[in-house]
Amino acid sequence: MLKLVKTTSRKAGLPPGSPVFIGEKVTETFGLDMVDYDTENISLTTPVRLEEFHLLKKKPSNTWIRIHGLHDAQAVDRFCLGFGLHPLTIEDILHTGQRPKIDHYDDYLFLVINLINYNDATREMSMEQISFVLGPSYLLTFHEKDDDIFDDVLARLQTNKGRSRKMGVDYLLYSLLDRVVDNFFSVLEKIGEEVEDLEEELIAEPTPETLQSIHTLKREMILLRKSVWPLREVINGLQRDETAFMGEAIRVYLKDLYDHTIQVLDTVETFRDIISGMIDIYLSSVSNRMNEVMKVLTIFAVIFIPLTFIAGLYGMNFNTSKSPLNMPELNWYFGYPFALSLMAGTAIVMLIYFKKKKWF
Amino acid sequence: MLKLVKTTSRKAGLPPGSPVFIGEKVTETFGLDMVDYDTENISLTTPVRLEEFHLLKKKPSNTWIRIHGLHDAQAVDRFCLGFGLHPLTIEDILHTGQRPKIDHYDDYLFLVINLINYNDATREMSMEQISFVLGPSYLLTFHEKDDDIFDDVLARLQTNKGRSRKMGVDYLLYSLLDRVVDNFFSVLEKIGEEVEDLEEELIAEPTPETLQSIHTLKREMILLRKSVWPLREVINGLQRDETAFMGEAIRVYLKDLYDHTIQVLDTVETFRDIISGMIDIYLSSVSNRMNEVMKVLTIFAVIFIPLTFIAGLYGMNFNTSKSPLNMPELNWYFGYPFALSLMAGTAIVMLIYFKKKKWF
Amino acid sequence: MLKLVKTTSRKAGLPPGSPVFIGEKVTETFGLDMVDYDTENISLTTPVRLEEFHLLKKKPSNTWIRIHGLHDAQAVDRFCLGFGLHPLTIEDILHTGQRPKIDHYDDYLFLVINLINYNDATREMSMEQISFVLGPSYLLTFHEKDDDIFDDVLARLQTNKGRSRKMGVDYLLYSLLDRVVDNFFSVLEKIGEEVEDLEEELIAEPTPETLQSIHTLKREMILLRKSVWPLREVINGLQRDETAFMGEAIRVYLKDLYDHTIQVLDTVETFRDIISGMIDIYLSSVSNRMNEVMKVLTIFAVIFIPLTFIAGLYGMNFNTSKSPLNMPELNWYFGYPFALSLMAGTAIVMLIYFKKKKWF
Amino acid sequence: MLKLVKTTSRKAGLPPGSPVFIGEKVTETFGLDMVDYDTENISLTTPVRLEEFHLLKKKPSNTWIRIHGLHDAQAVDRFCLGFGLHPLTIEDILHTGQRPKIDHYDDYLFLVINLINYNDATREMSMEQISFVLGPSYLLTFHEKDDDIFDDVLARLQTNKGRSRKMGVDYLLYSLLDRVVDNFFSVLEKIGEEVEDLEEELIAEPTPETLQSIHTLKREMILLRKSVWPLREVINGLQRDETAFMGEAIRVYLKDLYDHTIQVLDTVETFRDIISGMIDIYLSSVSNRMNEVMKVLTIFAVIFIPLTFIAGLYGMNFNTSKSPLNMPELNWYFGYPFALSLMAGTAIVMLIYFKKKKWF
Amino acid sequence: MLKLVKTTSRKAGLPPGSPVFIGEKVTETFGLDMVDYDTENISLTTPVRLEEFHLLKKKPSNTWIRIHGLHDAQAVDRFCLGFGLHPLTIEDILHTGQRPKIDHYDDYLFLVINLINYNDATREMSMEQISFVLGPSYLLTFHEKDDDIFDDVLARLQTNKGRSRKMGVDYLLYSLLDRVVDNFFSVLEKIGEEVEDLEEELIAEPTPETLQSIHTLKREMILLRKSVWPLREVINGLQRDETAFMGEAIRVYLKDLYDHTIQVLDTVETFRDIISGMIDIYLSSVSNRMNEVMKVLTIFAVIFIPLTFIAGLYGMNFNTSKSPLNMPELNWYFGYPFALSLMAGTAIVMLIYFKKKKWF
């Protein structure tokens, strides 16, 4: 299950801007690869020395550097300081579990977003923080793990399909964010299937496990929502950005991306409403079942209680020889048939009563 | 039932603006018809070659082209590119299940809305996306299916009734949107009837199926709301539009249309409130019934339990001959009548007690 | 009960602005009366020919025309067109069940509001749409029925009490709206009494009918709210109106009217909160009663079950002559008193247990 | 209990601005006292003739007039008209039960607020409307009853403590409002104690009366909130006031007062949340108790039902002499001990089962 | 448990700005220590005479004075007046339990915030008010108790690590606020652990104590939220501050702090949602258990009731010698086996019925 809060106690008491990694300890080594491209050429390398980055900053071509393995806080800190990032930026990169946000610095735009992954096998969601640093001609992306979410964007760059090579790093940033939003749609689609499975289960035969699943789903929606609401603000912030980092030509794309984010949000809210309704259905089906159990008990009890009473009556040991008033029925010729008929009659009257009450 | 999310996984990983159709696969072929009209003349044709459209763009007359069969993504893409539409517009047209929205492009206005159809027989709603492209003298409408929703608007154009021929394509767009909003009213009217039927059923005799119907209705309202809220924004966006596509003369009509949309929204919200109240009524009627069942059980049990005990008492086999203390009642002359009177008395006391408690 | 939606299907498919009456068919004939007044004189007539109205428009005196009987759509349409009203205005006048709104036209202000009537006998609310058209020196009011809501305003005009004759038609409009808002207060006062009656009933002895009444009330509040919220916007719109129809001197009155509308809204919201609380009280009183029923059942069952068991025990037919171990109690001298004491002892222990548990 | 709506029907149909007293009929006579003060002197008198007030208006000293006994509408009306108040102001003063509000007139500021009193003995709240009229050098306060809420402010004025004599009537108004807000804190403190008492009662031993108390509290919070929300707007309105009535030096005090009002609001909202939670606790404790009752019943029934069956079995009268198969146990030497052991065994198995289920 | 309202009645009736301490009476003596620092030097002293402070005000170095022991209202009042603080500021410092707020005075900025402490042992939260007064080169912090929350900030100042000594008192204020917000994260982390413990308990074996814990948690979230919402406004107010107290260089830090506060708020809201869901899970698990109890009762009753009836039937004493119709079964050779088979058959049929109903 998704953790509610990341362990932040390691940080409390340290000065603001301390480069401490906060997140799950995954033994992933620090690594990076760099893509340098313009309309004509594209190269994919893994530079080692810091000076190479400084040279790139001055080149007119576009550069995209993917950094993964935030676990190694020292390495990330050294790289970022070398790149001239603000200490607060570095803190936010390393302190994963951030709320998505956009920060404007003089030299660059800084974005944090959450990527949600859905594991088909375990039906569980996991969350990863991805940070973006957009400079005039470079884009840095920081990943917790060496994931493959942006591989197809890279493939498009390499095969020079679409507009990607013709436009700048702002379009690249847009493409990556579009990929992230598309990923939300995929997750929602799978959750939608789960919701529909659960709805069928609810109607067919709800069990306490169904309720458990509904609550897990509800909790996932709470956490999903917590990622998408601020993402909307981030993309809106990009749209309204008045610095030079996002070109004018990119506006129409951002508007489209914003609309898609709203649609994700809308779907999340719809799911929340539907899941709330499912809890109601579950609870009322539990009541209905209880009602049915009660009815069966009541029908049996109410039919047999008078019969047992009659049987008990004629089981009394009053001495018939002492008085003609003492249980003369016992000595009647038709005594037993009379008692049986009395019982049958009582039972039939009861059954008619229940039929009229529509209890079965 | 309405699907919660459209299958979007086909699209994830493709570059933004890819012309892939997303929606239910309906084997409907691509087709279009074109209406060209001015105050004097009107013609209805089905052009084949793309050049014809280009000519039309330059003509002073008004042109309305209805395209249906979005399933054939290649054909739609070719047509739209030929018309000069932006790739993102084409993606939004083909990717049905969009949230209603309005986009301003340099050459045209782009609108997406959802049309809700209500099937009287199955009492089910279905949703269709309709996209509008409004240029200076042309209007394109894209339909998933070859529906007849706009046929009466066309008929009015042909018979030259009302203002429609005298005014431009902006008035035509208004007329079509007005038709869509009127359609919402029709759907709401039918849902209103369903709500009233359910309310009567609730008072007369609620069953678990009643609850199921209430929940289906609730879910439909959630999805209806999801279509109407953004529609409101779209029409508001049209009203506040400062480009030249919507003429000044059309403002008063758009205000009226906006008011009607607000009224639709109001009614949707009212229905949601009323449906929530119905769930409460249902649940409390279930409790009431349970209460009644419990009372019947309790009355029977509480009356007969003491009687059965008395019968059991005189069914004991204590040896009356061994001691005068052993069940002398069995040998009394009025023993049996005494026992019966004791029982009757107990029962009467109980009945009086329940009467006082107002249990029946 | 108030209808949720008016039958609008008669209209779907007609061109915008069609003069079709939508509302309950009441066989009320079209009629109008006209009041013409200035500081000095007042006349009350029923004009027949349309030209008379045109003359009035040019007169410096103030004219108030009351039209009722909207059922006769043709007559209303003819009158309104003669007066120079926009087709959309006429559609809104005839299409009753509108959401309250204000529209600014070049020549006049158009207002729609809902009047709520409360029938003391049946304790039911009914709704009527009243439309206002305010021109420079005339005011038209359109009523569904020939109601008497504005009769006292007319009486004040005739007796020349207060400021009414000294001021223009804008003050007249204000007086009429003030009358409508006062009417809301009267309705709320009656509903307040109903709420207090129900609260007493809830504490004294709630029945399923009480719940039914609460839900009817709740539903009425939903619909009342639907009329008052937009009324607030309408009056706010009047206040912020920058056209010349509402004079400067009227501002302070409109502010006061606005405050009263807010107070109506506040009271409606308070009632909603209180009514929600009443449902909770009802449900918990139902639970409490169920609890009590269960306790009675349990006390009886738990006391008599062991007693009946003991009686059953000594009703067994083991052959005492075959073995001294077989039920020797039956032959004891104090056998029967022993059994009775055992029973009484058991019962007393049970009663002490329940007393300790505070079950009675 | 607080009335939900004041009786307003006396007013409906009267012209706007009619001086009719609306409120509970308390037989309190009209009265007033006047405080005239400047830095040097202070005098407390009860003027009789209206001309005296006119003279005061022109004096440079500050004047505070306290009017009570609104019941006598004619007297209040005469006084107010003499003072030059607008008819709408007089209507608002007399029509108690107003929503707190601020109105700007040319000559004065008009404020209405609600004072909440909490009766310690009956634990009930009552509400009183206080109206303020602030002119350039005078302040009028209108009270329904001759209450003593402002007596300590007057005492401070007389003893010349603090800033009160050095500053104008705007500071006096602030002091009075501060007193009213402090009064809200006192009421909230008492309600807080009640809430804590109820919380303890809930944990110790909740009864239906506890629920009744919670609901009374909830209702009081609804009405309290209805008084405080608009008060916040009123004080905000004073702060943003651009007329000359509130001096610049008073701004910092109003900001502080505003903060306190927000704090009152916050506390009211917190109480509402806590009270809602208490209803949940109550309901779940009722369920828990029901559960316990059910368990006791079930344990007894399930243990004794099989035992009684066994006793009944050996109470059958099959003729053992006709066949060796007919109940041979009855003639066994260890027949009775066998039956008793069978019963004890059954009971022990049941008890172990319940122990395992953790039912006791 | 956290108190809902502080005792304010001591204050009601006093003039605004009275220096009365409102809070829990803790016998803590008034004390202060002073830190004076610039880039080069730092000194930590405990000044005694008031004149020393006046000198410091004029020195170019930065001064931070920590005051604790607000219980001694006279001492605090004397100190603050000596420092030139406004009486309203002093009142707010002493009147603990304030809502967090920011006030702009001519000479200084005044901030109030709430610090939440979480006691690991008792799992209880406590709240302390900390007030800040920020002047051009000095910062005063007022603590209720002599807590150690800011000790590590002081340690950083002393060891001259990070930016703290190079920047002004505005950065110091930021560092302290950052420490407070980090403290909220620590508290939330611990609450998150509690939530996860409770979730496991809920699934494993919920008891009424679990519900009690959930409600305590819910109440704590209500009060936590009450502290964090206004904190957000305070920090936003600092960000938008246009006076010279907060330097331009500090903006980027405040933005970061603001983002963290939003994240705290987000987490609080998420916890509230999750805790609400837990109450639902608890209640439905209680229903489920009740259901199970009912089923066990019903199964036993419904199986044994018919068996007991059969046993009772053959326990009747009809005289077999008087008529061949009177209970001939008693004299059959296979009478007893027949009765036992009848009973076994009935029981088996019942068991099959329950199996089919899936009751066990």
Considering only the beta carbons, identify the residue of E3, E16, E286 that sits closest to D178: E16
* E81 plus E226 within the same structural domain: yes
Does some domain include residue B6? no
Contact assessment for residue B42 and residue B158, using Cβ atoms and an 8 Å cutoff: yes
d(C-alpha A148, C-alpha A133), whole Å = 19
Do E301 and D301 count as a contact with CB atoms less than 8 A apart? yes
Residues 115-174 of B with CB under 8 A from A: none
Least Cα distance to C18 among B228, B155, B178, B150 occurs for: B178
* B246 plus B350 within the same structural domain: no
Does some domain include residue C12? no
Residue E6: pLDDT band (50, 70, 90) is low
Q: What is the pLDDT of residue B177?
A: 94
Residues with Cβ within 8 Å of C349's Cβ and at least 6 positions away in sequence, in order, are none
Closest Cα of chain B to A323: distance in Å?
A: 5
Range of the domain at D343: 293-356
The full length of chain A comes to 360
The CATH number of the domain holding residue A231 is 3.30.460.20
Least Cα distance to A184 among A265, A102, A93 occurs for: A265
Cα distances (angstroms) measured from residue B223 to each of A269, B278, D165: 11, 19, 65
User: Looking at beta carbons, which residues of chain D come within 8 Å of E312?
Assistant: 312, 315
Token pair for residue C95? 């299409």
Q: What is the pLDDT of residue B341?
A: 92
Do D311 and C306 count as a contact with CB atoms less than 8 A apart? no
d(C-alpha B227, C-alpha B98), whole Å = 10
Q: Angle at Cα E243 formed by Cα E237 and Cα E248, nearest 5°?
A: 85
d(C-alpha D21, C-alpha D8), whole Å = 9
Cα distances (angstroms) measured from residue E124 to each of A155, D18, E16: 54, 58, 34
Rg (CA), chain D: 36
Do E98 and D271 count as a contact with CB atoms less than 8 A apart? no
The CATH number of the domain holding residue D337 is 1.20.58.340
Do C282 and B284 count as a contact with CB atoms less than 8 A apart? yes
* A142 plus A213 within the same structural domain: yes
Considering only the beta carbons, identify the residue of A189, A273, A325 that sits closest to B334: A325
d(C-alpha D89, C-alpha D75), whole Å = 15
Look at residue C1 and tell me whether its pLDDT is greater than 50.
no
Higher pLDDT, residue C323 or A180:
A180
The 3-class secondary structure across D50-99, one letter per residue, is HHHHHHHHHCCCEEEEEEECCCCHHHHHHHHHHHCCCHHHHHHHHECCCC
Q: Chain C within 8 Å of B349 (Cβ-Cβ)?
A: no
User: Looking at beta carbons, which residues of chain E come within 8 Å of A13?
Assistant: 152, 179, 182
Please write the tens of the pLDDT for every residue from B139-180.
999 998 877 889 888 888 888 766 778 888 999 999 999 999
Q: Measure CA of the first residue to CA of the last residue in chain C; give whole Å.
A: 44
How many CB contacts within 8 angstroms connect chain A with chain B?
175
Does some domain include residue C281? yes
Chain C, nearest residue to D224 by Cα: C270
Token pair for residue D153? 């402010």
Contact assessment for residue D25 and residue D49, using Cβ atoms and an 8 Å cutoff: no
Do C317 and D312 count as a contact with CB atoms less than 8 A apart? no
Higher pLDDT, residue B23 or C357:
C357
Do E280 and A279 count as a contact with CB atoms less than 8 A apart? yes
Per DSSP, the three-state class of D145 is coil
Please write the tens of the pLDDT for every residue from C248-284.
888 889 999 999 999 999 999 999 989 988 888 888 8
Please write the tens of the pLDDT for every residue from E167-195.
889 999 999 999 999 999 999 989 998 99
Does some domain include residue E5? no
Q: Angle at Cα C73 formed by Cα C67 and Cα C75, nearest 5°?
A: 60
Give the sign of the dihedral formed by CA D340, CA D345, CA D346, CA D348.
positive
Residue E53: pLDDT band (50, 70, 90) is low
Residue A328: CB atoms within 10 Å: 12
Pairing of strands A138-143, E62-68: unpaired
d(C-alpha C125, C-alpha C225), whole Å = 13
Residue at a domain's end among D250, D285, D320: D285
Residue C176: pLDDT band (50, 70, 90) is very high
Do E274 and A4 count as a contact with CB atoms less than 8 A apart? yes
Does some domain include residue D126? yes
Look at residue D152 and tell me whether its pLDDT is greater than 80.
yes
d(C-alpha E320, C-alpha E299), whole Å = 35
Closest Cα of chain C to B312: distance in Å?
A: 5
Averaged pLDDT, E294-310? 87
Token pair for residue A300? 């049996």
* C86 plus C187 within the same structural domain: yes
Q: What is the pLDDT of residue B231?
A: 93
Considering only the beta carbons, identify the residue of B183, B195, B252 that sits closest to C86: B252
Give the sign of the dihedral formed by CA B66, CA B72, CA B76, CA B78.
negative
Cα distances (angstroms) measured from residue B253 to each of B170, B177, B238, C235: 11, 11, 11, 22
Chain A neighbours (≥3 Cβ pairs under 8 A) are: B, E
Do D318 and E330 count as a contact with CB atoms less than 8 A apart? yes
* C48 plus C182 within the same structural domain: yes
Total domains present in chain C: 2
Chain E, nearest residue to A320 by Cα: E319
Does some domain include residue A1? no
Do C156 and D15 count as a contact with CB atoms less than 8 A apart? yes
Please write the tens of the pLDDT for every residue from C109-156.
999 999 998 888 888 888 889 999 998 889 999 998 877 889 888 888
Please write the tens of the pLDDT for every residue from A62-76.
899 999 888 788 888
Residue at a domain's end among D253, D285, D317: D285
Q: What is the pLDDT of residue D1?
A: 45
Considering only the beta carbons, identify the residue of B205, B289, B330 that sits closest to A318: B330
Considering only the beta carbons, identify the residue of B196, B309, B317 that sits closest to C317: B317
* E253 plus E299 within the same structural domain: no
d(C-alpha D158, C-alpha D141), whole Å = 18
* A141 plus A214 within the same structural domain: yes
User: Looking at beta carbons, which residues of chain D come within 8 Å of E105?
Assistant: 252
Higher pLDDT, residue D55 or C84:
C84
Residue C285: pLDDT band (50, 70, 90) is confident
* E237 plus E308 within the same structural domain: no
For an interface test with D, give the residue of E221, E272, E336, E343 to mutate (most D CBs within 10 A): E336
Look at residue C47 and tell me whether its pLDDT is greater than 80.
no
Token pair for residue B129? 């996306």
Residue A235: CB atoms within 10 Å: 25
* D253 plus D147 within the same structural domain: yes
Token pair for residue A356? 């009229």
Q: Chain C within 8 Å of B297 (Cβ-Cβ)?
A: yes
Contact assessment for residue B5 and residue A187, using Cβ atoms and an 8 Å cutoff: no
Contact assessment for residue A153 and residue A175, using Cβ atoms and an 8 Å cutoff: yes
User: Looking at beta carbons, which residues of chain B come within 8 Å of C301?
Assistant: 301, 305
Helices (H), C105-168: 151-159
Q: Could you tell me where the beta strands, DSSP code E, fall in chain D?
A: 31-37, 42-45, 62-68, 101-104, 109-119, 124-134, 138-143
* A277 plus A307 within the same structural domain: no
d(C-alpha B2, C-alpha B124), whole Å = 8
Do D262 and E99 count as a contact with CB atoms less than 8 A apart? yes
- Averaged confidence pLDDT in chain B: 85
User: Looking at beta carbons, which residues of chain B come within 8 Å of A349?
Assistant: none
d(C-alpha C222, C-alpha A23), whole Å = 49
Cα distances (angstroms) measured from residue C251 to each of B259, B306, D94, E228: 26, 80, 21, 42
Closest Cα of chain D to C8: distance in Å?
A: 34
User: Looking at beta carbons, which residues of chain D come within 8 Å of C188?
Assistant: 5
Does some domain include residue C11? no
Q: Looking up tokens 């100042």, which residue turns up?
A: E157
Higher pLDDT, residue A131 or E334:
A131
Chain E, nearest residue to D300 by Cα: E297
Closest Cα of chain D to E208: distance in Å?
A: 8
d(C-alpha D75, C-alpha D72), whole Å = 6
Q: Angle at Cα C312 formed by Cα C310 and Cα C318, nearest 5°?
A: 110
Q: Chain D within 8 Å of E341 (Cβ-Cβ)?
A: no
pLDDT-above-70 percentage for chain D: 90
Q: Chain C within 8 Å of D324 (Cβ-Cβ)?
A: no
**pTM tops 0.90:** no
Residue D168: CB atoms within 10 Å: 18
d(C-alpha C81, C-alpha C67), whole Å = 14
Residue at a domain's end among A285, A311, A331: A285
d(C-alpha D303, C-alpha D291), whole Å = 18
Does some domain include residue E215? yes
Residue A13: pLDDT band (50, 70, 90) is low
* E269 plus E297 within the same structural domain: no
Residues with Cβ within 8 Å of C175's Cβ and at least 6 positions away in sequence, in order, are C153, C156, C164, D15, D16
* A319 plus A203 within the same structural domain: no
Least Cα distance to B257 among B227, B234, B223 occurs for: B234
